[in-house]
Amino acid sequence: MKIGFIGAGGMAQALAGKWRSKHAVMLSGRDADKTAKAAAAVGVQAGTAAQAAAFGDVVVLATRWQDVFTAIDQAGGAPAFTGKVVIDINNPVSIETFLTTREDGRSLTQAIQDALPDAEVGKAFNMAQVAVWEDPNMIYDGRQMVTLFTAETDRVAGTLATLIGDVGAEPVQLGDNTHAYQLEAAAAMVIKFLFAGRDPHTLFNLIQPEVKPVR
Ligand SMILES: NC(=O)c1ccc[n+]([C@@H]2O[C@H](COP(=O)([O-])OP(=O)(O)OC[C@H]3O[C@@H](n4cnc5c(N)ncnc54)[C@H](OP(=O)(O)O)[C@@H]3O)[C@@H](O)[C@H]2O)c1
C-alpha cells in the first residue's frame, strides 16, 4: 500500500517505522526541516500535507486532535481525500477532565466521515500509547495485543485488518463508525491512568473472542 500521514509526530513515526518494510510511506508536517528529520529517523519519505494526501491510497490523520480539520483543509480539503481510505487515530480527550470533548454523543471519526464524504473512514490505533506501537513484539501477558477498530466499509475493514497485523497486533472489528465514540471513551480511561503515572504500556489487551454461531 501507499500510506500518507498528515502529521510527523510520535504516533506517525511509530506506525511508519512498523509499516515501512511492507509499504511505501510518507510523513508530513508544517515545518519542512522538522518533518524531514522525523521521516529520516524512521526511513520514510517527507512531504507537505497536500503531498501526503495525494501520495496515499491510505491517509492517516495523525495531528493533535485539535488540528485535524485545519490539517484536512491544508491538505486540500475534501476533494484531496476522494477515493482514499482515511484512518483516524485521534483521541478528542481533555487532559483536565479525562472525558471526551465531543458533546453530541458522536465521535470525532463520524465528524471526519461527514467532512470527507468521498473518502472511506475508519478508526484504530487510538487505544495505546506511542511506546506500545513502537514495541517490536506487542506480546503482553503472553498474548498478542488485540487492537479494536471501527470501519465505515468493508474496504476500510480489510485495510485496517492488514495494517494492524503489520504492526504486530491482532485486529478485531468493534463495528462501524457508530461505535467509534466507544473507542474514544476507552482511550480516555487509558490516558487518565497514564497521566496518573502508570507505565506507558498501560493498555486494554482484550482476548481474541472465539466466534460461535448464534442460536
Ligand atoms: N501520543 C500517543 O501516545 C497517542 C496514542 C494514541 C493516539 N494518539 C493520537 O494521535 C494523534 C497524534 O498524536 P502524537 O502524539 O503523534 O502528536 P504529536 O507528536 O504532537 O504530533 C502531531 C504532528 O502533527 C503535525 N501537524 C500539526 N498540524 C498539522 C498540519 N496542519 N499539517 C500537517 N501536520 C500537522 C505536527 O507537526 P508540526 O507541529 O511540526 O507541524 C506533528 O508532527 C493525536 O490526536 C492523539 O490523540 C496519540
Full-model pTM: 0.96
What is the structure's pLDDT at 96?
96
CA–CA dist 39, 26 (Å, integer): 8
Neighbours of 57 (CB within 10 A): 14
What is the structure's pLDDT at 207?
77
User: How far does residue 8's CA lie from ligand 1's centre (Å)?
Assistant: 7
- Ligand 1, residues 35, 64, 198: which to mutate, most atoms within 8 A of Cβ? 64
Please name each of the domains of the chain with its CATH number: 2-195 (3.40.50.720)
Mean pLDDT by 10 residues, the chain (215 residues): 98 98 98 98 98 98 98 98 98 96 93 98 97 95 94 98 97 97 97 93 80 75
What is the structure's pLDDT at 209?
66
> Residues 185-206, buried b or exposed e (16+ Cβ, 10 A)?
ebbbebbbebeeeeeeebbebe
Kindly report the protein residue whose alpha carbon is nearest to atom 32 of ligand 1: 71
- Cα dihedral 84, 41, 92, 74, rounded to 10, equals -50
